[in-house]
Amino acid sequence: MTTPASRTSQTLIADRPESKMTSITPLKATDLLSLNSINLDVLTENYHLGFYLQYLSDWPAMFFKSTNPADRCTGYMMGKSEGRGLEWHSHITAVTVDCDYRRLGIAKDLVDHLVTCSEESTQDCYFMDLYVRATNRLAIDMYKKFGFSVFRRVVAYYSMGEPSDDGEDAFGKYHQ
Ligand SMILES: CC(C)(COP(=O)(O)OP(=O)(O)OC[C@H]1O[C@@H](n2cnc3c(N)ncnc32)[C@H](O)[C@@H]1OP(=O)(O)O)[C@@H](O)C(=O)NCCC(=O)NCCS
């Protein structure tokens, strides 16, 4: 069966001077070796290799990348689906865009693509949610623009025991 992320979608971002053709394609395990420049961003959450591989194995349609015409990865979306009954939903674990390719609408394309995946009959999610650092104003405003609302603030969400965790609060946001 063809899953949403196994199809290649071509999106022409035409209303910007830096117009580029962006493709959205499934992320492959070998792509993980070329994400370093994107993951070096301070606001991009980094995980151990096994965590990425678990997402690739469990939610392959929800882990995808954007690429430029030279097939360079310009960003990625790491998502999953979870919950029971009416709580069944998709979740954005990480979305990030290469510094050189920001403000071109790529994050919007990635989020829109996850929405499409979430609405497919194989997923049929009731809503989508995510957590964002309370100080990440840009991302908070971006999600608001995309139609997400804050449903709670989790104190010290970023204190899960990883060395990089700093105990920062997170806003939980959802989209229906
Ligand atoms: C947040 C991030 C993903 C945005 O990616 P992007 O591809 O530049 O975003 P888009 O071009 O799709 O912009 C979508 C909207 O977000 C807002 N936005 C994005 N960058 C902005 C900026 N630098 N200043 C103000 N608003 C901005 C705008 O409202 C924009 O819409 P507009 O261009 O029509 O005004 C990117 O900055 C990033 O990777 N940041 C680090 C990781 C991160 O914070 N991820 C989100 C938390 S999980």
Task: Report the number of secondary-structure helices (H) and strands (E) in the chain.
Answer: 4, 8
| Its pTM surpasses 0.85 | yes
Please state, rounded to an integer, the average pLDDT across all residues of the chain.
Answer: 88
User: 22: helix, coil or strand?
Assistant: strand
Query: Do 88 and 147 sit in the same domain of this protein?
Result: no
Query: Do 28 and 78 sit in the same domain of this protein?
Result: yes
Q: Is the CB of 20 under 6 A from ligand 1?
A: no
Q: Which domain holds residue 19?
A: 4-125
Q: Is the CB of 43 under 6 A from ligand 1?
A: yes
The tens digit of pLDDT for each residue in 2-44 reads 334 444 454 444 444 444 589 999 999 999 999 999 999 999 9
Query: Do 85 and 144 sit in the same domain of this protein?
Result: no
33: CATH:
3.40.630.30
Query: Do 32 and 104 sit in the same domain of this protein?
Result: yes
The tens digit of pLDDT for each residue in 71-92 reads 999 999 999 999 999 999 999 9
Ligand 1 centre distance from Cα of residue 113 (Å): 16
- Is residue 116 within 8 Å of 4, Cβ to Cβ? yes
Q: Is the CB of 44 under 6 A from ligand 1?
A: yes
Joined together, the tokens standing for residue 55 give: 């997402």
Look at the chain and report how many structural domains it folds into: 2
CA 81 – CA 41 distance, rounded (Å): 26
Query: Do 114 and 155 sit in the same domain of this protein?
Result: no
Size of the chain, expressed as the number of residues it contains? 176
Q: Is the CB of 18 under 6 A from ligand 1?
A: no
Ligand 1 centre distance from Cα of residue 112 (Å): 14
Q: Residue 81 forms beta bridges with which residues?
A: 90
The residues, ordered by sequence, that sit 6+ positions from 159 with a Cβ below 8 Å of its Cβ are: 165, 166, 167, 168
Query: Do 9 and 90 sit in the same domain of this protein?
Result: yes
Pocket perturbation via mutation, ligand 1, pick of 24, 39, 98, 142 by most ligand atoms within 8 A of CB: 142
Own/partner long-range contacts of 33-42 (Cβ < 8 Å, ≥24 apart): 34/73, 35/73, 35/76, 37/98, 38/73, 38/75, 38/76, 38/96, 38/97, 38/98, 39/96, 41/96, 41/99
Q: Is the CB of 103 under 6 A from ligand 1?
A: yes
